Structure 1
Amino acid sequence: MSSIPPRRIAVLVSGSGTNLQALIDAQNTPSLPHAEIVLVFSNRKAAFGLTRASQAQPPISTGYLALQPYLKANPGKTRDDYDSEVAVRVLEARPDLIVLAGWMHVFGESFLERADQAKDGLGVPVINLHPALPGAFDGMNSIERAFEAFQKGEIKHSGAMVHRVIKDVDRGEPLIVREVQILHGDALDDFAKRLHSIEWQIIVEASKLVLDEVVPIPS
């Protein structure tokens, strides 16, 4: 197996990168075997996820491009142009899998089209971690919205999932779904910590699942 190139992962982050750290820790272990994170890309220059990448052993290549500075530097360009440029930069790393791990920007069709056309038309799968159950609390602030709904008696639990990315926000095919309990007496932070611990597990599990589909490890 040592002579076979490792399976390549690009991870997109916008914040602290705790989900990225779970992937860094799992690469080349039984949880995520024969895999290498080849790029960490952010839309925020101050994202600590970039620091995590540079401090990894060995260090992981990083990239950065923010929407508003891009539009300001390129008069006439659009959000779709930005999405396309991000795709170009990410795909230059030749990933077998793109993981959105706390990436706080909704991609339009131009990003997904470039990913679908990559690798001579075979495409590069794109997956996203979302801290809610399928069909519930799509989009931003889902943890806070779920906690508030629990307080109102509207739900009994929440959860987290990893899903395939399509143009409809958080509506792609779920790959792994886990329920997370909200306990009476919980503060928001208590629930959030419980949910994040599940996120760190399922982002690794889903990455392995998809890699095993697109680049199986020879027996």
Structure 2
Amino acid sequence: MIQISVLVSGRGTNLQSIIDAIENGQIRNAKISCVISDKKDAYALARAKTHHIPGIFIDPKTFSSRQEFDNRLLEILKENKTDLVLLAGYLRILSDGVISEYKNKMLNIHPSLLPAFPGLHAQKQALEYGVKVSGCTVHFVEPALDKGPVILQKTVPVLPGDSEETLAARILVEENKAYPEAVNLFVENKIKIDGRNVTILD
């Protein structure tokens, strides 16, 4: 049984997609051990509670440095025997130590077709650049922001008159499909990594 820990900061829509996929059998042989948030009022914690998943709030204000915060985070991940870490709208930058501890065992989803438009406000960046197609990317996490090997991507058209909000909503629909799909590939051991290249095994 793969033990999953999910890091969140906000609404938790992608967390919900993972919960649903486990509950409906799309993802088998895995369970969410805990949901960890750096925001006390993150709605993702309420989602976890609804599904009887332990929710843990780590208050950044009680730590003197990012490293101390991440040390505590690492302790919690280990206490929960975490095999896979998922970033689902987690807004803190993780230290290299946490990332290296879970090398090739930490996934993130980003609302653009990486390597295009990394970082914040990806949808705004896409609209300002004038692209005709956008989407989302599930990738492994590496110390360089949004630079890890790509597992899968899904596309959406950029429509005339799109706002940041309308494009984000269209991308989110695909995010909620892509993330469970990628997690299932990991759980089923169907991902092969060769440098930057990820091969999906049959």
Query: Which TM class, normalised by the smaller chain length?
Result: 0.7 to 0.9
**2:198 aligned residue:** none
After TM superposition, the score normalised by the length of structure 1 is: 0.81
Q: Distance in 2 between matches of 1:91 and 1:99?
A: 14
**1:197 aligned residue:** 173
Q: Distance in 2 between matches of 1:112 and 1:84?
A: 12
Q: Percent identity?
A: 31
Q: Distance in 2 between matches of 1:161 and 1:37?
A: 22
**1:120 aligned residue:** none
Say which SS state the counterpart of residue 51 (structure 1) adopts. Answer: helix
Q: Aligned to 1:104, which of 80, 86, 91?
A: 91
Q: Distance in 2 between matches of 1:62 and 1:109?
A: 24
Q: Distance in 2 between matches of 1:137 and 1:125?
A: 24
**1:178 aligned residue:** 154
| Contact kept? 1:39, 1:61, Cα under 8 Å | yes
Residues 142-153 of structure 1 mapped to structure 2, 5 A cutoff: 142-150=122-130
**1:86 aligned residue:** 73
The yes-or-no answer on 1:33 pairing with 2:35 is no
**1:75 aligned residue:** none
After TM superposition, the score normalised by the length of structure 2 is: 0.88
| Contact kept? 1:163, 1:176, Cα under 8 Å | yes
Unaligned runs of 5+ in 2: 191-202
Q: Distance in 2 between matches of 1:51 and 1:31?
A: 23
Query: Structure 1 residue 156: deviation in Å?
Result: 1.8
Q: Distance in 2 between matches of 1:84 and 1:133?
A: 32
The Cα RMSD (Å) is: 1.8
The yes-or-no answer on 1:63 pairing with 2:56 is yes
Q: Distance in 2 between matches of 1:103 and 1:86?
A: 13
The yes-or-no answer on 1:130 pairing with 2:106 is no
Structure 1 residue identity aligned to 2:33:
V
- The range that moved more, 23-32 or 47-56, is 23-32
Q: Segments of 4+ in structure 1 off by > 6 A?
A: none
Work out which of the two has the higher radius of gyration on C-alpha atoms and give 1 or 2: 1
Q: Distance in 2 between matches of 1:84 and 1:101?
A: 20
Unaligned runs of 5+ in 1: 1-5, 72-77, 117-123, 215-219
Say which SS state the counterpart of residue 94 (structure 1) adopts. Answer: coil
Q: Distance in 1 between matches of 2:150 and 2:88?
A: 15
* Equivalent pairs, count: 191
Query: Structure 1 residue 178: deviation in Å?
Result: 1.3
| Contact kept? 1:81, 1:110, Cα under 8 Å | no
